Structure 1
Amino acid sequence: MSTVEKSIEVNVPVNTAYNQWTQFEEFPRFMEGITEVRQLDDTHLHWCADVGGKRKEWDAEITEQIPDKRIAWRSTTGAPNAGVVTFHHIDANTTRIMVQMDYDPEGVTENVGDALGVFSHRVHGDLERFKEFIESRGQETGAWRGAVNEGQGSRPGM
Structure 2
Amino acid sequence: MMLEQSEDDAPKRARRDDREGEMAVVGRSVTINRPRVTLFAFWRDFQNLPRFMEAIEKIEPTGPQRSRWTIRAPAGQMVTFEAEVTDVKDNERIAWRALPGSQIMTEGTVSFSDAPAGRGTIVTANIKYQPPGGDLGRLVAKLFMAEPNIQARHELKRFKMLMEAGEIATADNRKSKEDR
TM class by shorter-chain length? 0.7 to 0.9
Separation of aligned partners in 1, 2:153 and 2:55: 13
Deviation at 1:115, TM superposition (A): 5.6
Q: Which residue of 2 aligns with 1:47?
A: 69
Which structure has more relative contact order (CA 8 Å, sep 6+)? It is 1
Deviates more, 1:100-109 or 1:53-62: 100-109
Deviation at 1:110, TM superposition (A): 3.5
CA-to-aligned-CA distance 1:102-153 (integer Å, 9 cap, x gap): 0011137733235657321111000001111111239xxxxxxxxxxxxxxx
Deviates more, 1:99-108 or 1:61-70: 99-108
Q: Report % sequence identity.
A: 27
User: 5+ unaligned residues in a row in structure 2: which ranges?
Assistant: 1-22, 168-180
Higher gyration radius (CA): 2
Q: Secondary structure at the match of 2:63?
A: coil
> What TM-score comes out, normalization by structure 2 length?
0.71
Deviation at 1:21, TM superposition (A): 0.5
On the 8 A contact 1:7/1:98 being kept in 2, the answer is yes
In structure 2, give the amino acid aligned to 1:112: L
In structure 2, give the amino acid aligned to 1:51: A
Q: Is 1:81 equivalent to 2:106 in the alignment?
A: yes
Q: Secondary structure at the match of 1:19?
A: helix
User: 5+ unaligned residues in a row in structure 1: which ranges?
Assistant: 139-158
In structure 1, give the amino acid aligned to 2:105: P
> What TM-score comes out, normalization by structure 1 length?
0.80
Q: Is 1:137 equivalent to 2:166 in the alignment?
A: yes
Aligned-residue CA RMSD (Å): 2.0
Q: Is 1:103 equivalent to 2:124 in the alignment?
A: no
On the 8 A contact 1:13/1:92 being kept in 2, the answer is no
Q: Which residue of 1 aligns with 2:139?
A: 112
Mapping of 1:57-72 within 5 angstroms?
Answer: 57-72=80-95
On the 8 A contact 1:9/1:96 being kept in 2, the answer is yes
More strand by share: 1
Separation of aligned partners in 1, 2:81 and 2:32: 29
After TM superposition, which residue ranges in structure 1, 4 or more long, deviate above 6 angstroms? none
